[in-house]
Amino acid sequence: MIRPLLTFALFSLSASFVASAQTPDPSAASQAPTIACPADGNLPPQLPSPNGPRKLIPVSAGVAAQFKKKGEAPAYPPNARQAYVEGTVVLHAIISPSGDVESLCVIQGPEMLQQAAYDAVKTWKYKPYKLNGEKIGMDTQINVAFKLR
């Protein structure tokens, strides 16, 4: 009677040890940076402004594109090229009054292309958007199209 109980106890203990050894640490996964927009639709916190809260104006993707003055073109990821993946990555961005990309996250697009689009857009610089002569931040979407030639 004791032998089957002892065998069961040892088996249960070793199975739980193996399962815990194979389960990834949930805190490690939460530390990995993410480029996806949060499910609630809010962007990551903006950088604090020394002049108080920032004013933002919603600007369409087409209008914001006209204000872009420089930045890297996205590099086509080799694995996406080999898999013939094309598409448009849509990003949500906050552009500071000085024209820097302050906050950025991916809304949608082919997963294999998202990081390349994100990395490129982080380097972009915009002409300041002015409203009534005052520089103001832009809340906009940026569309990055990837097309194989």
Relative to beta strand 134-146, strand 56-59 is parallel
pLDDT digits (tens, 9 = 90+) for 128-143: 999 899 999 999 999 9
Q: How many CB atoms lie within 10 A of CB 75?
A: 10
Question: Residue 64 above 80 pLDDT?
Answer: yes
Question: Residue 119 above 90 pLDDT?
Answer: yes
State pTM to two decimals: 0.71
Question: Residue 96 above 90 pLDDT?
Answer: yes
Task: Give all domains of the chain, ordered by start, each with its CATH number.
Answer: 35-146 (3.30.2420.10)
Q: What is the mean pLDDT of residues 60-88?
A: 95
